[in-house]
Chains A and B, each alone.
Chain A
Amino acid sequence: MSDVADRVKKIVVEHLGVEEDKVAENASFIDDLGADSLDTVELVMAFEEEFGIEIPDDAAETIQTFGDAVKFISEAS
């Protein structure tokens, strides 16, 4: 697993309080990992800080799963 994926996974585990093995490629933050809509906003904020990037609101809305996040961040950073 890539470095980006590890760091994203760590944030997701810490923020949502879920087991690491639940954070699968296609795990949806809201449907599978118990996030509410505000959690997803906070996750994006945490990603922005961790990776020093800006994630615009329209892009943030497309980040629904762990895999989406890793893909977006890998391309942006």
Chain B
Amino acid sequence: MFDLTGKNALITGASGGIGGDIARALHDAGATVGLSGTRVEPLQALADELGERAHVLPCNLGDAEAVAALPKQAADAMGSVDILVNNAGITRDNLFMRMSDDEWQSVIDVNLTATAKLCKGVLRGMMKARWGRIINISSVVGATGNPGQANYAASKAGMVGMTKSLAYEVASRGITANAVAPGFITTAMTDKLTDDQKSGILGQVPAGRMGEPAEIAAAVLYLASPEAGYVTGTTLHVNGGMAML
């Protein structure tokens, strides 16, 4: 349905469940994909699965120098970065009153600061091309909050505010910036939840089930498409109705 032939997409966190499916969806639509993540093996496995038009670009987003270098590495490998998907994210959960400075800072560094730096790093090329798509993967908890996740929720809410501001600034140049806010999706991150926690969560989800990574990827594919050119500064909530925002 959506054609991304000739577009080059950089996806962070591509070794994870959601990031992997985002890469598959963009690649299926014809895009060349740059797969970034900290673990090389799963990235290489995904690149092998996708075949042509896939590049492995390892990067630890907790390392400021590596973050600064990634946009250029991606542009060198693919020719340009037309689509940026900031999907990588970490959690370091703790009660707010017990949360260490390190738990706070590391989550803000990876989820928010690295996202901002990557956006900045790809904008120059997008401005010149008069076309670009920035899609930041936020979270439902950025809008609703979640006990034990003050750092994560702050980072994800921060992404939304940043995305909107950026969307204002570059809209006149054919560049859109949007966020996708997943609810509870079956991934390694949610596998860590206990069965009790899961059933508690599902009680709040009108759809009565967890979401699938492919359902997040579909939202990203839409926002990356030429057809979504008039959609900017928005947050697309994909959460089975658990928060109707």
Find chain B residues with CB under 8 A from A59 CB: none
Task: Decide if the interface of chain B is mainly helix, strand, loop or mixed.
Answer: helix
Residue B128 at the chain A interface, CB threshold 8 Å: yes
Find chain B residues with CB under 8 A from A61 CB: none
A45→B124 contact, CB < 8 A: yes
What is the chain A residue whose CB lies nearest that of B127? Answer: A42
Residue A1 at the chain B interface, CB threshold 8 Å: no
Find chain A residues with CB under 8 A from B165 CB: none
What is the chain B residue whose CB lies nearest that of A38? Answer: B169
Q: What's the nearest-Cβ distance from chain B to residue A13, in Å?
A: 18
Contact with B along A35-77 (1 / 0, CB 8 A): 0001001100100000000000000000000000000000000
* Bound-state Cα–Cα, A45 to B126, Å: 12
* Bound-state Cα–Cα, A8 to B221, Å: 40
* Bound-state Cα–Cα, A38 to B127, Å: 10
Residue B172 at the chain A interface, CB threshold 8 Å: yes
Task: Decide if the interface of chain A is mainly helix, strand, loop or mixed.
Answer: helix
B128→A45 contact, CB < 8 A: yes
Q: How many residues of A contact B (CB 8 A)?
A: 4
A38→B128 contact, CB < 8 A: no
* Bound-state Cα–Cα, A41 to B123, Å: 11
Find chain B residues with CB under 8 A from A42 CB: 127
Q: What's the nearest-Cβ distance from chain A to residue B8, in Å?
A: 20
* Bound-state Cα–Cα, A8 to B172, Å: 24
B170→A38 contact, CB < 8 A: yes
- Interface residues in B197-217 by Cβ distance below 8 A to A read none
Using a CB–CB cutoff of 8 Å, the interface residues on chain B facing chain A are 124, 127-128, 169-170, 172-173
10 A-B contacts (beta carbon < 8 Å): A38-B127, A38-B169, A38-B170, A38-B172, A38-B173, A41-B127, A42-B127, A45-B124, A45-B127, A45-B128
Q: Which 3 A-B pairs have the closest CB atoms?
A: A42-B127, A45-B124, A38-B169
Using a CB–CB cutoff of 8 Å, the interface residues on chain A facing chain B are 38, 41-42, 45
Q: Beyond A45-B124, A45-B127: 8 further Cβ-contacts under 8 Å?
A: A38-B127, A38-B169, A38-B170, A38-B172, A38-B173, A41-B127, A42-B127, A45-B128
